[in-house]
Amino acid sequence: MKRQIPLALCFLFGVVMIFTQFSPHPVSKSIYERVISGALIIGPFALVLATITLIQTHINRIQRRTEHWGYSFVVFAGLITMVAIGVPFGPENPVFVWLYTNVQVPMDATMFSLLAFFIASAAYRAFRARSTEATLLLVTALIVMLGNVPVGDLIWNTILSWTGFENQASAARGWILDNPNLSARRGIILGVSLGVISQSIRIILGIERSYLGGGD
Amino acid sequence: MTHYKICLWIAVCTTLFLWTSLGYTQGPTAPSNVVAKDTPNDDGTSITITWDVPADGSGIVGYNILSSIDEADFTQIGEQLSLEDVIDTKTNICNYQDTTVSRLNAFTYIIQAVTESGDTIQSQQTESVRPKAQIFHTGKIPLFLAMLLFSAAIVGNIYYVRSGREVFVRRIPGLEAVDEAIGRATEMGRSILYVLGLGGVSNVATIASMTILGQVARRTADYETPLRVPCNDPIVLNVVREMVKTSYLDEGRPDAYSEDNIFFLTESQFAYAAGVDGMMLREKPAAIFLQGTFYAESLILAETGNSIGAIQIAGTDSEAQLPFFIAACDYTLIGEELYAASAYLSKEPMLLGSLRGQDWGKLFIFGLIIVGVILELSGINWITTLLQNVR
């Protein structure tokens, strides 16, 4: 029973939700909206549990004096400060907004900006011309990178002006992105879409039930 | 006789001249063929009114739409409409969709043509129409049939495999390496880090990732290797805890399960990336699984994992992040391989059957593309027209 009821509910809601995609009737729309909003109700309860696990994790870190355990105090300081201001005064409170825009946003931006350096190191490894495929990748990447910046066309028009064609760096980039690249991407997207449908059918029919806990 | 003929010719020419002149200087005519119909394939909240395009030189510059609810007085709907607003260049017909209607009333319409001088000429009133909500969207019939066909292929293949027939599954190096990664972590005495990405529990890629996690957890339970799972979504956290716990129970190792190893980090994208990066640098896991939906943080995680020398197995359906994983990870499950993982790892016949059905779907689409290209090159474009009309 512990398994059968969730599986039956999953089948019922799965079939109904599929049907809502093919029916413009207001009843169908209403069912869809109610189910979606019903699912949102679970979120806040789960968030409470999640916050408790976060607190437990950091208490354990402090108790066990694991490496860099001192940073757990920073987590508690941040959590307590934001809850102390956000809960009684609301998220529109100027202090709450100030903390968000001047602490969290710059920290997020810092992490995001690290991506530029990670891209450089990953590109260095990926583009080392050690095989024919890697060389092809390197040449293609160079063309796309040159085509993406105005200096690419400038170089083409200065050095290769004798060819009689202009702005071919950006044209070559466009061709690469619109033809071989887009074809490969669409192939992947088609495979993913079929995979998603297949996985959904397995879940709706109760064949895939590992999300209920365990594989049996 | 000659005078008589000349006079006759003059009379005929004058008549023709006056007739044609009158035709050219004729004022605007009332909108013709005005028809009001319930808009098909909608939720019963609109009525479509169509009428003929005005003749060139008619002097009509716009239209007013007048409606009457349940045979009451006619009132104008909204502002005056220009010709560009109403003329459908594809069908060369004027149309207007009244979205102010209700299913409880019947509506009658009059189209009022407006001339340059501001004069108006009204059409005859249409028949009374009551909007209806459709139960099935007929424009989606091809999509519905495709879904039924694909579902039938999957279910049919599940039964085919259940009957005991063998199914060939091509080797997926990323999944073959799962045991190697777990074994390496066990030998080195280090933990395994499993990252589920940023998807919520309603995301199919996250569910696929959780099924892989279930299989990984069975193996880590056997080897007693610590499995660390930092979660980004509170609901995913609770589901994952149950899943991993059951995997340990199924393997007869409930004592090896530690709830502290599956924990919530944060819902914020880059704070999550920072937290996971910190774990990688502090704990130096021997194997890292990056499975699920990833966005800009994918390379930040994969490069950090690479820098600590961990064996990394990635898998995502976010095609924009695949190049990053391929560049930074040892193995990458590309797109659909992520969804095939649970069948591949568990070798369960029912799941393998669905893989075969999935391949049939791919074969069908592949065939459709080839036939479509050949027909298109031959100047026959009904497949493209059909696909364009699917909404």
- pLDDT over 90 percentage in chain B: 66
Residues B184 and B246 in one domain: yes
CB contact under 8 A, A213 and B208: no
Residues B204 and B327 in one domain: yes
Residue B384 has a pLDDT of 84
Residue B17 has a pLDDT of 56
3-state DSSP call for residue B129? strand
Could you tell me if B221 and A214 are in contact, meaning their C-beta atoms sit under 8 angstroms apart?
A: no
Averaged pLDDT score across all residues of chain A: 89
Band of the pLDDT at A215, cuts 50, 70, 90?
very low
- What domain count does chain B have? 3
**Contacting A residues, span 99-158, partner chain B, CB-CB under 8 Å:** 104, 107-108, 111-112, 114-115, 118-119, 121-123, 125-126
For the four alpha carbons of A82, A85, A88 and A91, in that order, the dihedral sign comes to: negative
- Asked if residue B127 belongs to a domain, the reply is no
Higher pLDDT pick, B56 / B240? B240
CB contact under 8 A, B133 and A200: no
From chain A, the residues in CB contact with B296 under 8 A are: 112, 115
pLDDT tens for each residue of B154-166: 989 988 988 888 8
Residues B204 and B293 in one domain: yes
CB contact under 8 A, B365 and A190: yes
Q: Which residues contact B68 (CB under 8 A, 6 or more apart)?
A: B74, B75, B107, B108, B109, B110, B125
Between CA A176 and CA A160 the distance in angstroms is 19
Residues B246 and B189 in one domain: yes
Residues B185 and B89 in one domain: no
- Asked if residue B13 belongs to a domain, the reply is no
- Read off the pLDDT of each residue in A67-85 and give the average, rounded to a whole number: 92
Residue A178 has pLDDT above 80, yes or no: yes
Judged by a CB distance cut-off of 8 A, whether residue B326 touches chain A is: yes
Residues B335 and B356 in one domain: no
Which residue of A133, A192, A203 to mutate against B (max B Cβ within 10 Å)? A192
Residue B16 has a pLDDT of 57
CB contact under 8 A, B243 and A123: no
Residue A182 has a pLDDT of 94
- Asked if residue B23 belongs to a domain, the reply is no
- Asked if residue B265 belongs to a domain, the reply is yes
Query: Running DSSP on this structure, what letter comes out for residue B128?
Result: P
Residue B391 has a pLDDT of 65
Could you tell me if A18 and A201 are in contact, meaning their C-beta atoms sit under 8 angstroms apart?
A: no
Would residue A75 be called left, alpha or beta, if left means φ above 0 and alpha means ψ between -120 and 50 degrees? alpha
Can you read off the two tokens belonging to residue B91? 């069908």
- pLDDT over 70 percentage in chain B: 94
Of B146, B153, B207, B149, give the one whose Cα is nearest residue B359.
B153
What are the residues facing B229 on neighbouring strands? B262
Residue B109 has a pLDDT of 96
Question: Parallel, antiparallel, or unpaired for β B287-293 and B192-197?
Answer: parallel
Residues B316 and B360 in one domain: no
Residue A165 has a pLDDT of 82
3-state DSSP call for residue B312? strand
- Read off the pLDDT of each residue in B17-30 and give the average, rounded to a whole number: 59
- The side-by-side arrangement of strands in the sheet containing B262-264 is B262-264, B227-231, B192-197, B287-293, B311-316, B331-334
- Asked if residue B16 belongs to a domain, the reply is no
Could you tell me if B227 and B216 are in contact, meaning their C-beta atoms sit under 8 angstroms apart?
A: yes
3-state DSSP call for residue B111? strand
Band of the pLDDT at A41, cuts 50, 70, 90?
confident
Residue A216 has a pLDDT of 46
Residues B312 and B385 in one domain: no
- Asked if residue B12 belongs to a domain, the reply is no
Residues B190 and B325 in one domain: yes
Judged by a CB distance cut-off of 8 A, whether residue B301 touches chain A is: no
pLDDT tens for each residue of B33-86: 999 999 999 999 999 999 999 888 888 999 999 999 998 999 999 999 999 999
Question: How close is the nearest chain A Cα to the Cα of B243, in Å?
Answer: 4
Q: Which residues contact B282 (CB under 8 A, 6 or more apart)?
A: A67, A68
Residue B186 has pLDDT above 70, yes or no: yes
Residues B153 and B247 in one domain: no
Of B361, B350, B363, give the one whose Cα is nearest residue B155.
B350
Judged by a CB distance cut-off of 8 A, whether residue A202 touches chain B is: yes
Of B150, B249, B263, the CB nearest to A54: B263
Q: Which residue of A has its CA nearest to B327?
A: A126
Between CA A83 and CA A91 the distance in angstroms is 10
Residue B25 has pLDDT above 70, yes or no: no
Between CA A42 and CA A74 the distance in angstroms is 29
Residue B288 has a pLDDT of 97
pLDDT tens for each residue of B303-358: 999 999 999 999 998 989 999 999 999 999 998 899 988 888 888 888 888 889 88
Higher pLDDT pick, B170 / A2? B170
CATH code for the domain in which residue B325 is found: 3.40.50
Residues B105 and B198 in one domain: no
What are the residues facing B313 on neighbouring strands? B289, B331
pLDDT tens for each residue of B91-121: 899 999 999 999 999 999 999 999 988 899 9
Residue B5 has pLDDT above 80, yes or no: no
- Read off the pLDDT of each residue in A130-142 and give the average, rounded to a whole number: 87
Residue B23 has a pLDDT of 46
Can you read off the two tokens belonging to residue A216? 């049996």
- Asked if residue B9 belongs to a domain, the reply is no
Angle separating helix axes B297-307 and A105-126, nearest 10 degrees = 60
pLDDT tens for each residue of B315-329: 998 989 999 999 999
pLDDT tens for each residue of B165-175: 888 888 899 99
CB contact under 8 A, A215 and B247: yes
Could you tell me if B354 and B157 are in contact, meaning their C-beta atoms sit under 8 angstroms apart?
A: yes
- Read off the pLDDT of each residue in B370-387 and give the average, rounded to a whole number: 89
Between CA B32 and CA B47 the distance in angstroms is 18
Can you say how many angstroms the Cα of residue A178 is from the centroid of all Cα atoms in its chain? 24
- Asked if residue B301 belongs to a domain, the reply is yes
Note down the domain range covering B185: 173-347
